[in-house]
């Protein structure tokens, strides 16, 4: 008989406090759900906000743009953490707005406004649905060392954003003041200290404890004020097609490539959370991966229908699972329900999004470091030959070079810039291409080896 005590023992043996199907204790589930919401909410709202500001969207339309992103993230999260027929991975994998779509969305928005963004989002969303039917070929394209490299690149791509937030945000004056750095480092140190505490409740509450310590310090020192929510409406209900849809063949390639790379990111994320939940990446069921990719596609289709930016899995939140040791799917259900609630109450959303930038930066750096560690662990299991090491090394070089010197591709056509200036995209494509090319070369039959002197027959 499978008792809760047995489940708990299994969780502990896997290095978890709560496994995917754990039923108790409930307080850890609530604490973990709150941490996931705090960690992801700014990211969910940041992508549509950046696009809206770059395109010049009116304030009232921006509020709805952001609210619909929160709503779709909640719906997609509920679908992802459950197994409903072909949908869902059944892991604690939360969903949110994808930063990979910022460049093509801005390009489309400047050419045709919000209707063109939403139309292209809807039109190209089946790309990941097609990928979900080809999990076995994807496994050949993305063996562990390639998957781990993609996860590391995703983590590395978050470093600049994390550091800018640590310094007070990109618009801070002055940037990286001693106060901002002190508050961010305090947040990070408290999170790290709590995450290695032997008490399950403190470990599961590490993000909240660190965030609270940093936020209180920021307010007490005068570096942050109390959030203002009076300008936001009390209730905002969804209205599909509120801005309409438009289509333009010129933006098919940029959106298709972004969807493909997002699919690879989700593929890697599901393996990463599967690694944590199952104990070995090899134990991840391909049906879970297929269901996760299909849910990713459906979430982006809903984004196009409701009028917001495309959806994808959130890599940073996988690091929270590792830090807290709580992988229960019930956490995802609470997160999804919380996001849906926040989407209808913009005042609550404004309250959470008012987190001081250094506090958010400190929390993000802890999550990024864990994410890179997860990718490194997965990649190390696939490093069997010098060819595999070369694939990982070259892909990291290409991805980090793109991230460090984005102007390298300024002379490329505009539709290629959106592809080549994304470090995760270039690094992932490099890893896949190199793996296919070098592996085929290493397995190709070569010229027969010359006979050694000792093996020559006597004349």
Q: Tens digit of pLDDT for each residue in 397-438?
A: 998 998 888 888 888 876 677 667 778 778 888 998 999 888
Whether the CB-CB separation of 8 and 22 falls below 8 Å is answered with yes
Q: How much of the chain, in percent, has pLDDT values that exceed 90? A: 23
Q: Give the pLDDT of residue 209.
A: 87
CA distance 421 to 99: 12
pLDDT tens across 55-71, in order? Answer: 878 877 888 888 899 99
Tokens of 394: 């070259």
Whole-number pLDDT of residue 202: 81
Distances 290 to 21, 54, 88, 128, 270 between C-alpha atoms, Å: 20, 35, 8, 10, 10
Residue 268 to residue 151: CA distance in whole angstroms: 6
CA 283 to chain centre: 22
Buried b (16+ CB within 10 A) or exposed e, 229-244: beebeeebebeeeebe
Q: Residue 169 — left, alpha, or beta (φ > 0 → left; ψ -120 to 50 → alpha)?
A: left
pLDDT tens-place string over residues 144-200: 888 788 878 877 877 887 888 888 877 778 888 898 999 999 999 998 998 888 876
Asked if 14 and 313 count as a contact pair (C-beta separation under 8 A), the reply is: no
Where do runs of H (alpha helix) occur along 56-143?
A: 59-81, 102-124, 126-132, 135-141
Which stretches in the chain have pLDDT values below 70? 1-15, 24, 42, 200, 204, 225-233, 281, 316, 348-354, 414-415, 418-419, 440-459
Q: What is the enclosing helix (H) or strand (E) of 157?
A: helix 144-157
Q: Could you give the CA distance from residue 319 to residue 418 in angstroms, rounded to a whole number?
A: 27
Question: Based on C-alpha coordinates, what's the Rg of the chain?
Answer: 23
Q: Are 378 and 275 in contact (CB under 8 A)?
A: yes
Residue 377 exposed, middle or buried by CB count within 10 Å (0-12, 13-18, 19+): middle
The whole-model pTM stands at 0.70
């Amino acid at each position: 008989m499978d008792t809760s005590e047995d489940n708990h023992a299994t969780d502990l043996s896997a290095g978890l406090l709560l496994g995917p199907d754990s039923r108790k204790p409930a307080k850890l589930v609530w604490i973990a759900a709150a941490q996931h919401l705090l960690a992801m909410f700014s990211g969910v709202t940041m992508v549509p906000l950046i696009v809206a500001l770059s395109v010049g969207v009116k304030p009232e339309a921006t509020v709805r743009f952001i609210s619909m992103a929160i709503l779709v993230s909640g719906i997609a999260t509920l679908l992802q953490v459950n197994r409903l027929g072909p949908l869902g991975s059944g892991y604690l994998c939360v969903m949110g707005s994808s930063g990979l779509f910022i460049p093509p969305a801005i390009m489309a928005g400047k050419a045709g406004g919000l209707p063109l963004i939403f139309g292209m989002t809807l039109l190209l969303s089946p790309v990941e649905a097609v990928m979900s039917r080809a999990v076995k070929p994807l496994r050949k394209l993305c063996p562990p060392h390639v998957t781990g490299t993609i996860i590391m690149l995703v983590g590395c791509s978050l470093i600049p954003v994390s550091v800018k937030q640590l310094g007070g945000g990109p618009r801070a004056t002055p940037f990286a003041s001693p106060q901002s750095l002190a508050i961010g480092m305090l947040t990070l140190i408290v999170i790290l200290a709590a995450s290695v505490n032997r008490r399950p409740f403190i470990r599961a509450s590490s993000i909240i404890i660190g965030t609270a310590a940093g936020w209180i310090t920021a307010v007490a020192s005068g570096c942050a004020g109390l959030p203002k929510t009076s300008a936001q409406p009390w209730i905002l209900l969804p209205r599909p097609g509120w801005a309409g849809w438009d289509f333009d063949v010129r933006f098919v390639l940029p959106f298709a490539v972004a969807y493909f790379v997002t699919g690879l990111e989700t593929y890697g994320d599901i393996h990463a959370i599967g690694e944590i939940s199952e104990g070995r990446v090899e134990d991840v069921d391909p049906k879970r991966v297929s269901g996760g990719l299909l849910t990713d596609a459906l979430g982006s289709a809903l984004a196009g229908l409701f009028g917001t930016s495309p959806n994808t899995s959130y890599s940073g939140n996988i690091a929270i699972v590792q830090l807290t040791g709580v992988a229960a799917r019930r956490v995802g259900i609470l997160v999804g329900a919380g996001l849906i609630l926040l989407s209808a109450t913009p005042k609550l959303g404004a309250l959470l999004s008012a987190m001081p930038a250094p506090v958010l930066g400190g929390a993000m750096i802890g999550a990024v470091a864990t994410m890179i560690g997860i990718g490194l662990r997965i990649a190390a299991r696939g490093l069997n030959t010098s060819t595999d090491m070369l694939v990982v090394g070259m892909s990291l070089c290409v991805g980090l070079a793109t991230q460090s010197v984005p102007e390298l591709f300024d002379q490329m056509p505009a539709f290629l810039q959106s592809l080549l200036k994304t470090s995760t995209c270039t690094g992932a494509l490099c890893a896949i291409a190199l793996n296919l090319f070098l592996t085929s070369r290493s397995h190709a039959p070569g010229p027969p080896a010359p006979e050694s002197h000792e093996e020559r027959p006597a004349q």
